[in-house]
Structure 1
Amino acid sequence: MSPTIAALPAGLTVLERGWLSANNVLLAGRPGEGATLIDTGHCSHADQTLALVQQALGGQRLGRIFNTHLHSDHCGGNARLQRQHGCTVWTPPGQADAVVRWDETALSYRPTGQQCEPFTLQGVLIPGGELEIGTMGWEVLSAPGHDPDSVMLFQREHGLLISADALWEHGFGVVFPELEGESAFRDVRAVLELIATLPVRQVIPGHGRVFSDVAGALARAHERLAVFERQPARHARHAAKVLIKFHLMERRREPAADLLRWMLDTPLLASCHQRADSPLPLAGWTGALAEELCTAGHLRREGSWVVDA
């Protein structure tokens, strides 16, 4: 039997989103301080994010945005919210300079074939530091693996972990550095081991529902990680499917010829192909993956179009 989900602390609201947009966490501030929003979803959902946040604010001012990391599904609403609320944006320090220069290659948007509207940066979240948000203190924890610069936030009194994509109820995010030839599975393992040492009672993941079976989630994550460590080509295939699925979730529907062109023009898919060690050329390999997604019901074909399912 799964542990019962406890009530979240007063002043904390979780906006659980679909898989294209990361969950948003709104934390009330002290009087005059303004609220803090953690992660802002994908740019294609920015208007929806704005409406959801506006409703959750309940008359408060939005003072700050904290991003756990800078993948497009976690910071895509930053620019829209900044324009509306004049709020500041804080990110992990590793890519702060890339944000200031708006280097879409360094920020992963060009290699992954994804989008993010430019925003401005006002502060950084230093791993090992602490943040005061309203009446609660939060520890900033380094969480490399999925993204080398990602952070988690831990509220020790309530045993509450905002885990981003380092731990989900049933896994963790694609380990992107591995696709670029960098060793990062060991970083995933180290972060999972770190979480196990913390008195965590509830996890707010980057995607999916809030959960409290932390031991079960960690066991599932370790099992998944062990498979990827033994079979890195399997991880590369999985990552490629995720990129294709995210692209179709963003576009909703696309002519098959345009999808193939996008797959051939997306650098990270070429990296996945190389690491998958497939005998097929890139066009055949990515086309086969798209067909597998259709067979599994994640996409579907409508004549000459490929449609998100």
Structure 2
Amino acid sequence: MSAGAADRLPTWVTWQRRPFPDANLLLLHGRCPALVDSGFVGHAEETAAWAHARAGNIALVVNTHWHSDHVGGNARLQAMGAGVAASALDAKAVGRRDPGCCLAEYLDQPVAPYTVDRPLHDGQLLRLGDTDWQVVDTPGHTPGHLCLWQPEERLLAVGDTLSGYDVGWVNLALDGPEAATTALDSLHRLADLAPRVLLPSHGPIPEDPGAAFGAALRRAQRLVDDPAGAVWYGARRIFAFALMIRDGLPTAEAECYLHARAWLADAARLLGRTPEALAAELVDSMLRSGAAVLRDGRLHASAEHTPVTTASLRVPFPRAWPDAVGTSPPAHPPIRHIG
């Protein structure tokens, strides 16, 4: 975190940037210590130790959304006594143990089983640390995405809605062709708050929130105007994440890995290609752009990321999660495919 960013934060906020596959750390100190998002399952122990060393026992983890890089430490922190809060939409699905929870199986991104103790609704006030934050529903990147607004200090935790350099990808296959427009509308809603400090889940704290919103709105509008480009953007981000958490893939196996992925099949359908053709094109385009590199016979993501042990990925997909207390097995998957 830059000195300028640190100067803009109250003493009761600790923020630390982390590379993928984790989300940044946002810790709110006080009588009810709270952590916003909990990173990837492969680094759950490190996340829990970091939070405990700075705030003692964490009372609540608030998830901006349920992707694996935001909920991976939930189970460990719950085992240490923390509650978990998430949007009502995510909470219902997690409570039912829907097979599509967290898109873990769909994206092939493991998530350890957890429960949601506090469903959150738009406009709700939430005591985090010693201050009240307002829940702001911001669907788009996921249908259940939320942000957190602290009006006195004008702090805005934005999750994956935007960063200093980009916006979150949208899933047109699962969430429908309107997902990009929904994400753009959410950005406009956040920009209207005129925050003093943006706290993104990835990348640094932007020096100029207004400029960051301007860039994000332009980028989001491009995803609305170019649906094929939005599909490609999502495919590249998902595949890069797969390479990060697996220490790359053997070059000869990369396309076979992609052929087995549901998200790749959906992207191919939307782009009018076969999965085999899209897999080959995706690998080639990422190599040509520098998003992936060949090293020692393996295809690696070139973006900065923290290694993950293979053993830490061995957690069950949600369809095999134990039932949450007071729930019954799911009757059907929650995923809706759009043809």
- Which residue does 1:70 correspond to in 2? 66
CA contact (8 A) 1:233 1:277 kept: no
Structure 2 CA distance for aligned equivalents of residues 180 and 286 of structure 1: 22
CA contact (8 A) 2:173 2:267 kept: no
- Which residue does 2:45 correspond to in 1? 47
What secondary structure does 1:293 align onto? Answer: helix
- Which residue does 1:225 correspond to in 2? 220
Provide, for residues 215-255 of structure 1, a one-character-per-residue CA deviation record: whole Å limited to 9, x for no partner: 21111112112222221111111111111100000101222
- 1:88 corresponds, among 70, 83, 90, to 83
Provide, for residues 106-164 of structure 1, a one-character-per-residue CA deviation record: whole Å limited to 9, x for no partner: 43111112110111221112211111223311110000111111110000111100000
What secondary structure does 1:62 align onto? Answer: coil
Q: Which amino acid aligns with 1:8?
A: L
Is 1:292 the counterpart of 2:285? The answer is: yes
Q: Which amino acid aligns with 1:100?
A: G
Provide, for residues 23-61 of structure 1, a one-character-per-residue CA deviation record: whole Å limited to 9, x for no partner: 12111122xx4x11110011122222223223322xx22
Structure 1 gaps of 5+ residues are none
Structure 2 CA distance for aligned equivalents of residues 122 and 231 of structure 1: 39
- Counting only pairs closer than 5 Å after superposition, residues 16-55 of structure 1 correspond to structure 2 as 16-30=17-31, 33=32, 35-55=33-53
Structure 2 CA distance for aligned equivalents of residues 22 and 264 of structure 1: 28
Structure 1 CA distance for aligned equivalents of residues 119 and 249 of structure 2: 38
CA contact (8 A) 1:159 1:200 kept: yes
- Which residue does 2:325 correspond to in 1? none
What secondary structure does 1:99 align onto? Answer: helix
Structure 1 stretches of 4+ with a deviation exceeding 6 A read none
Is 1:239 the counterpart of 2:234? The answer is: yes
CA contact (8 A) 2:147 2:158 kept: yes
Is 1:139 the counterpart of 2:119? The answer is: no
- Residues 103 and 263 from structure 1, CA distance in 2 versus in 1: closer, same or farther, beyond 3 angstroms? same
- 1:213 corresponds, among 208, 217, 224, to 208
CA contact (8 A) 1:36 1:133 kept: yes
CA contact (8 A) 1:148 1:177 kept: no
- Counting only pairs closer than 5 Å after superposition, residues 1-309 of structure 1 correspond to structure 2 as 5=5, 6-30=7-31, 33=32, 35-57=33-55, 60-83=56-79, 85-177=80-172, 180-278=175-273, 281-302=274-295, 304-309=297-302
* TM-score in terms of structure 2 length: 0.83
Which structure ranks higher in relative contact order (CA pairs < 8 Å, sequence separation ≥ 6)? Answer: 2
Structure 2 CA distance for aligned equivalents of residues 220 and 276 of structure 1: 26
Structure 2 CA distance for aligned equivalents of residues 228 and 7 of structure 1: 32
CA contact (8 A) 1:178 1:184 kept: no
Provide, for residues 164-193 of structure 1, a one-character-per-residue CA deviation record: whole Å limited to 9, x for no partner: 011211221101245553412221221121
Structure 2 CA distance for aligned equivalents of residues 236 and 11 of structure 1: 40
Further displaced range: 86-95 or 179-188: 179-188
- Residues 235 and 177 from structure 1, CA distance in 2 versus in 1: closer, same or farther, beyond 3 angstroms? closer
CA contact (8 A) 1:179 1:268 kept: no
CA contact (8 A) 2:30 2:129 kept: yes
CA contact (8 A) 1:201 1:212 kept: no
Q: Which amino acid aligns with 2:35?
A: L
- Residues 125 and 180 from structure 1, CA distance in 2 versus in 1: closer, same or farther, beyond 3 angstroms? closer
CA contact (8 A) 1:12 1:25 kept: yes
What is the CA RMSD across the aligned residues, in angstroms? 2.1
Structure 2 CA distance for aligned equivalents of residues 273 and 179 of structure 1: 13
Q: Percent identity?
A: 29
Structure 2 gaps of 5+ residues are 303-339
Structure 1 CA distance for aligned equivalents of residues 193 and 262 of structure 2: 38
Residue 292 of structure 1: CA displacement? Answer: 2.2
Further displaced range: 66-75 or 118-127: 118-127
Residue 210 of structure 1: CA displacement? Answer: 1.4
